[in-house]
Amino acid sequence: MATARTSRKPPARKDAADFPAAGTMVNARDPSIVDLIVRKLEEDIVLGRRHPRERLVEQDLCADFDTHRGDVRLALFELEKMGIVERIPNRGAIVRDLKPREVADIYDVREELEVMAVRILPFPVPDEDIERLEAIQHEHGKAVDAGDLLAVFHSNVRFHRAMFGLCGNASLIETIEYLAQKVSGIRSYAHAKPDALNDARRDHIAMINALRNSRRDDLISLTRRHLKPAVRAYVDAYRRRFGDGGSRA
């Protein structure tokens, strides 16, 4: 795991009783290190470096990031709000174990919300918005060719944020982004499939062409299709790892 070091020394070790219980808000003394911990742990989960049900031990994270438990606990609190970490009383934090049914339900809602955004998106799309999407997709394509999964992840997030942002409904945009973030931990399973990244690139390019030519029905079909592979890949992987718990029912 990537680590980050800061020049300041961590404070003297305190007893567990000196810290708030899990589930309570903690005042971080260094917001920048909290953001770094959140980003690095999210990336580790997205890239499959950390797996469902894996423990996130506070003492280990303090050592990894050369910081104190206040920062670590606030970072875990933020990751819990994002839906990718779960904190269990008297056990600590783990990478959230999303059951296949949960994932399928979230994706069902995502699909309808993203299609709603496409339905209300005003046409024609201005040239500068098309050019912005093309620039983001160019970065995504370079990352795919390089096999840089981290850059693929970040450019993919930027692409969809920019595209759905065109609908102009702030509440809808926020909900779409929240649900996408909540299932971000399953991305590595889709990326493990042969040609999955090239298929995603193909869909992005087709989406841009549909936007450029005001083809709403084509964009709706692409939006629905684009979501399917991640769910199938996750369910298959869950079944292999945990047995018949992979059933949707």
Q: Let me know if residue 7 belongs to a domain.
A: no
Do 211 and 235 fall into the same domain?
Answer: yes
Do 20 and 142 fall into the same domain?
Answer: no
241: domain range?
A: 100-246
pLDDT value of residue 224: 96
pLDDT value of residue 22: 37
pLDDT value of residue 3: 45
Do 120 and 107 fall into the same domain?
Answer: yes
pLDDT value of residue 140: 96
Q: How far is 168 from 69, CA to CA, in rounded Å? A: 40
Does the model's pTM come out above 0.75?
yes
Tens-digit pLDDT string for the chain (249 aa): 444 444 444 444 333 333 334 333 344 455 699 999 999 999 998 888 888 889 999 999 999 999 999 999 999 999 999 888 998 888 889 998 888 899 999 999 999 999 999 999 999 999 999 999 999 999 999 999 998 989 999 999 999 999 999 999 999 999 999 999 888 888 777 766 668 899 999 999 999 999 999 999 999 999 999 999 888 888 887 887 776 554 444
Do 151 and 232 fall into the same domain?
Answer: yes
CA-based radius of gyration for the chain:
20
CA distances from 188 to 104, 229, 231 (A): 16, 11, 11
Q: Let me know if residue 66 belongs to a domain.
A: yes
Q: Let me know if residue 8 belongs to a domain.
A: no
Q: Let me know if residue 88 belongs to a domain.
A: yes
Q: Let me know if residue 6 belongs to a domain.
A: no
CATH number at residue 57: 1.10.10.10
pLDDT value of residue 146: 92
Q: Let me know if residue 10 belongs to a domain.
A: no
Please state the domain count of the chain: 2
Tell me which of 80, 95, 110 is where a domain ends.
95
Tell me which of 95, 128, 158 is where a domain ends.
95
Tell me which of 35, 70, 95 is where a domain ends.
95
